[in-house]
Amino acid sequence: MGDVILTMKGIDKSFPGVHALDHVDLEVRKGEVLALMGENGAGKSTLMKVLTGIYKKDSGTITYEGKEVEFKNTREAQDAGIVIVHQELNMLGHLTVAQNLFIGREFKNGIKIDDKKMNEEAKKLFDRLNVDIDPTETMSKLTVGKQQMCEIAKAVSFDAKVIIFDEPSAALTEAEIEEMFKIIRDLKKKDIAMVYISHRMDEIKVITDRVTVMRDGTYVGTLITNECTKEDIINMMVGRVIYEDPKTVSAVPKDAPVVLKVEHLNAGKMVQDVSFELRKGEILGFSGLMGAGRTETARALFGADPKESGDIYINGQKVTINSPEDAVKAGIGYLSEDRKRYGIVVQKTVAENTTMATMHKFMKGLFIDKKKEEEVAQEYVDALATKTPGVDQLVVNLSGGNQQKVVIAKWLTRDCEILIFDEPTRGIDVGAKNEIYKLMNKLASEGKSIIMISSEMTEILRMSDRIVVMCEGKKTGEIGIEEATQENIMNLATREIN
Amino acid sequence: MANKKALSKLKGREAIVVGIILVMVVVFSLLSPTFRTYTTFVSLLDSSYYVALMAIGVTFPLITGGVDLSIGTGLISYALFGGYLIVHQEMPVAVGLIACVIMGTIFGVLNGFLVAVMELPPFLATLCTCMINRGIGSLLSGGFGISWPSALSSDGWFRSIFRINSNGKILPVGIILILVLVLVMNFVLKHTKVGRYTIAIGSNKEATRLAGVNVKFYHIFAYTICGFFAGLAAIAYSGTYVTIYPGSGAGFEMDAIGGAIVGGVSASGGVGSIIGTFLGVIVICLMKVGLPFIGLQANWQQIITGLILIGAVLIDVVKKRKV
């Protein structure tokens, strides 16, 4: 194994309310591929952004080629030879391949940009990497795989000594991944160091030399890939202590009636043949890593996105849901993960938000019955213990947890029997979280049925009666809360797909 | 033959617009004998100069995904400022011309600053400067119209940039200037950094920033080009019309923006060409000049312009859906 080229030591970074990185260490050697693993929010991407100057670290040192460095922006990092291949492709769709490769450092001929020379240089680069792409093609016309190759080629063209791959394979087909691995092996021979962030255990095994694991913003440890098993890595990823008591027994009787049955739901790449049942009074947790297709499943079920096929039964009756309107009529409510964007109108009052989905109930002829609206809103404020000075308060002035309660009230006015909570406590502080949990439990005990999508393992284990695990658009398993552990959930969430 | 070659060089959208122009000319000419006269041709060109200049400029903010609504009242405000210096302060005409361009450029920088640095929505930022401009114009002129020197006076030389009276025959030479500027700005948009980054910002601003491009600078630059051309448009307007009235100018920007959109500039940014914009302006001006000849007055023009714009934007939207 080569010499150490890059060392990060004691890197610390906080955002308002979040300690994103807590004295993290990382060491990368020449000619190796280092896997960087961890759950959602473990801090992998943040660490890489600190390295490449996108974020400024609060403390710690970065040593690169024997010298301490601190890059102010990606440009400086690039010039020094550290390049990041982003998770979302950072492509300018309207420009050509060559124009994209050399954006920010165009060849010039006087004041004219020398497109001819750029095309030639791009061609040389692709030849060197054995990639067949026409530099004059418009970027948006390439397949995602080819676009990814361009990103890698771009990284190489900076004379990169360290290349960071942030989930490079997420959107690629098997063949494209194979092609990418060929390039990575090539780069290894050229003594280039690579950091490879991925959730796919099988890829880690094939392409990486060492594995560094992070958890909740801290460094856990580093293993030699050949000498460890998948279970070793998972144990490191999830080995946290759960402070709040996980649910150990489900209160839902085994023979409770099935209120919702979804069969063979298909909607694009992110929802493939998903089937599950939801029982009355049950909280069904949906677990999985980022991009597992959980939100997409919920949106397809709710009619927010078109589905290709699949049957939905409510209380045994087959229903057709082609729009959110249909879903609401069928008694399904959906609380979006992006509350501010889809859930509430922040510049309106608590009362107006509460009745927004049920306007027709509050009409007196042509006019809105303000008094009735406020009475009903007050009922829900009391029932949900929403902290607000009054129902005429603008929602924007409420805390995240109380905003969430307003959204819940909105769906309750519609008499929804099935509620889908997508990341119900995202952006909500700990105290308010507990209240939302209590509220969800109360709703379930009153006979409402809940689907809860959550990326927080602790939340899944604390709340769910049963857990559906998804991975890359497929349901990979279902576990009753009695058997559920962090390990077996993570095992399903990272299962290799053949 | 040479024409055919030039035509085949135009891209799909531009070829369509050329086709529309030809159809319009043929239809108007068939329906109205007075349309197919030299005088109409000249007045068509006269009315197109300032729109074309505004449109060339506004193409840049449009391609970044923004817009500049201030160019219409701006044009009048700059022309009043120039006229004020010449008529009321008795300064040389050249000073008035330069003042138009400088004031336009300053407002361009201001718009760019509000959008790129203060991060105001372009629609809002330029709506505000639009109103400010209208106020400045009225203040400068004291509410009265200002007439730049006439073509007959010795100070009227600037009018011959746009039209030359040769033995009673009027030569619309302004079109040469416009064509040169179209070619120059087409080059700027396609082959220089400024143009490349304008497109890049409209395509994916964050990605452009991450590529190490000084996005704020180029974003401001796009609006500055727009302001500069609004200044030139003020000169063209002063050179072709007799009197500048404060309070007018609102709505001019819509002709320019409409022309750019008809010419294939994407309202969501990233796509467009100066040649397309120029052709789009011809469509808009043909309609304004041509429709009265076939008995359709101003109200109809607006309705038809609106419909054409919907058509142009629909092409854009449908194309996107396919991708």
The CATH number for B256's domain is 1.10.3470
Tokens, residue B281: 């302006």
In B, which residues are within 8 Å of A78 by CB distance?
Answer: 212
pLDDT confidence of residue B8: 52
Average pLDDT over residues A175-191: 89
Domains held by chain B: number: 1
Question: DSSP string covering B187-207, please?
Answer: HHHHHSHHHHHHHHHHHHHHH
CA–CA distances in Å: residue A331 to residues A328, A413, A419: 5, 11, 8
- Is B244 part of a structural domain of the chain? yes
Tell me: pLDDT of A280 over 90.
Answer: yes
Q: Judged by CB atoms within 8 Å, which residues 261-280 of B form the interface with A?
A: 270-271
- Is B24 part of a structural domain of the chain? no
CA–CA distances in Å: residue A18 to residues A41, A340, B284: 11, 20, 55
Q: Which of B203, B206, B213 sits opposite A104 (nearest CB)?
A: B213
Distance in angstroms (rounded) separating the CA atoms of residues B292 and B287: 8
* Chain A contact present for B196, CB below 8 A: yes
Q: Which of B187, B192, B204 sits opposite A92 (nearest CB)?
A: B204
pLDDT confidence of residue B50: 96
- The shortest C-alpha distance from A169 to chain B (Å) reads 19
The band of A264, judged by pLDDT with boundaries at 50, 70 and 90, is very high
- Is B23 part of a structural domain of the chain? no
pLDDT confidence of residue A244: 61
By percentage, how much of chain B surpasses pLDDT 70?
95
Pick from B91, B99, B90, B133: which is nearest to B231 by CA?
A: B99
Average pLDDT over residues A25-46: 89
- Which residues does residue A163 pair with via DSSP β-bridges, in sequence order? A83, A194
Phi/psi for A285 (5° steps) reads -85, 140
Pick from A154, A159, A5: which is nearest to A79 by CA?
A: A159
Pick from B139, B25, B148, B33: which is nearest to B79 by CA?
A: B148
Return the DSSP state at A241.
P
Structural domain of B41: 33-313
Q: Which residue of chain A has the CA closest to B64?
A: A94
Tell me: pLDDT of A496 over 70.
Answer: no
- Which residues does residue A113 pair with via DSSP β-bridges, in sequence order? A108
- Produce one character per residue of B238-250: b if its CB has 16 or more CB atoms within 10 Å, e if not: bbbeeebbbebbe
- Produce one character per residue of A334-370: b if its CB has 16 or more CB atoms within 10 Å, e if not: bbbbebeeebbeeeebbbbbbbebbeeebeeeeeeee
pLDDT confidence of residue B212: 75
pLDDT confidence of residue A249: 81
pLDDT confidence of residue B1: 40
Residues A400, A429 contacting (CB under 8 angstroms): yes
Q: Which of B187, B208, B212 sits opposite A73 (nearest CB)?
A: B212
- With the CA atoms of B68, B73, B74 and B78 taken in that order, what torsion angle do they form, in degrees rounded to the nearest 10? 170
Residues of A with CB under 8 A from a CB of B: 54, 73-75, 78, 86, 90-95, 99, 103-106, 108, 111-113, 115, 140
* Chain A contact present for B199, CB below 8 A: yes
* pLDDT < 70 regions, chain B: 1-11, 320-323
Distance in angstroms (rounded) separating the CA atoms of residues A275 and A475: 8
List the single best residue of A97, A103, A117 to mutate versus B (max B Cβ within 10 A): A103
pLDDT confidence of residue A498: 44
Q: Which of A54, A103, A113 sits opposite B211 (nearest CB)?
A: A103
* Chain A contact present for B73, CB below 8 A: no
- Is B322 part of a structural domain of the chain? no
B211–A90 CB contact, under 8 Å: yes
pLDDT confidence of residue A229: 86
pLDDT in tens, B212-229: 788 999 999 999 999 999
Q: Which residue of chain A has the CA closest to B188?
A: A112
CATH architecture of A258-493: 3-Layer(aba) Sandwich (3.40)
Tokens, residue A211: 């594995």
Pick from A423, A168, A171, A419: which is nearest to A287 by CA?
A: A423
Q: What CATH code is assigned to A4-238?
A: 3.40.50.300
Distance in angstroms (rounded) separating the CA atoms of residues B172 and A301: 65
B270–A140 CB contact, under 8 Å: no
- Is B82 part of a structural domain of the chain? yes
- Is B134 part of a structural domain of the chain? yes
Residues comprising chain A, all counted: 498
pLDDT confidence of residue A301: 94
pLDDT in tens, B28-87: 999 998 888 998 999 899 999 999 999 999 999 999 999 999 999 999 999 999 999 999
pLDDT confidence of residue A43: 87
A103–B200 CB contact, under 8 Å: yes
pLDDT confidence of residue B214: 87
pLDDT confidence of residue A277: 95
Number of other CB atoms surrounding residue A240 within 10 Å: 14
> Any idea which residue has 């020379």 for tokens?
A117
Task: Tell me whether domains A4-238 and A258-493 share a fold.
Answer: yes
Tell me: pLDDT of A121 over 80.
Answer: yes
The band of A337, judged by pLDDT with boundaries at 50, 70 and 90, is confident
pLDDT in tens, A245-256: 677 788 888 889
Domain chopping of chain A, boundaries: 4-238, 258-493
- Residues near B5 by Cβ (< 8 Å), separated by ≥ 6? none
pLDDT confidence of residue B213: 82
Tokens, residue B93: 């005409």
